[in-house]
Amino acid sequence: MRRSLILLTTLLLLGGCAGPGYFEAIPPSSADQAVIYLYRPEADNPGRQPLRFSYPDVLIDEQSVGTLQFNSYRRIELPAGRHDIRITGLTRQAKWEPRDIKQVVKVAPGEIKYLKLDIRFNLSEMTLGSPGPSYLIHLRPVRPDDAVYEIRNTEPQNP
């Protein structure tokens, strides 16, 4: 009986570990700062994940904040205001072939903003005779209520 209870408890604990991860946003360290969570989740297409082993460098105001690996996120704290973001393969630390993505992001003091690097196969352009894969790549803002459910399944990247 005791052995069965220990086994059941162990299985329940392990089952809890197998589910989606936990994520809680960390607010800015001061009132005049803001935070951007930039994340790259798995694609929702079936089968292979597009550009799984490729990763861009992320530049904010032309300063690298590091690469963004597949199925990961990066927390970036910065002063409130207007910032230029560039997703690029044109640095030494990047391993990324697609063209740059450039966006302007405005963040208010104390704000937490979520940006998703969404990478999918462009199935409408991929046919049996295609020379290689085609991709749809977008950097898009995501509502916090939706982002926390996607980002919890990714891993944090160190700065």
The structure's pTM equals 0.83
pLDDT (0 to 100) of residue 5: 40
Mean pLDDT of the chain: 86
Judge whether residue 35 has pLDDT over 90: yes
Judge whether residue 15 has pLDDT over 50: no
At 10, the pLDDT band (50, 70, 90 cuts) reads very low
Asked which of 32-46, 52-66, 117-131 is least confident by mean pLDDT, the reply is 117-131
pLDDT tens, position by position, 81-130: 999 999 999 999 999 999 999 999 999 999 999 999 999 888 777 777 77
Judge whether residue 17 has pLDDT over 90: no
8-26 average pLDDT score: 59
pLDDT tens, position by position, 64-79: 999 999 999 999 999 9
pLDDT (0 to 100) of residue 92: 96
Kindly state the percentage of the chain with pLDDT values over 90.
69
Distance CA 125, CA 43 (A): 17
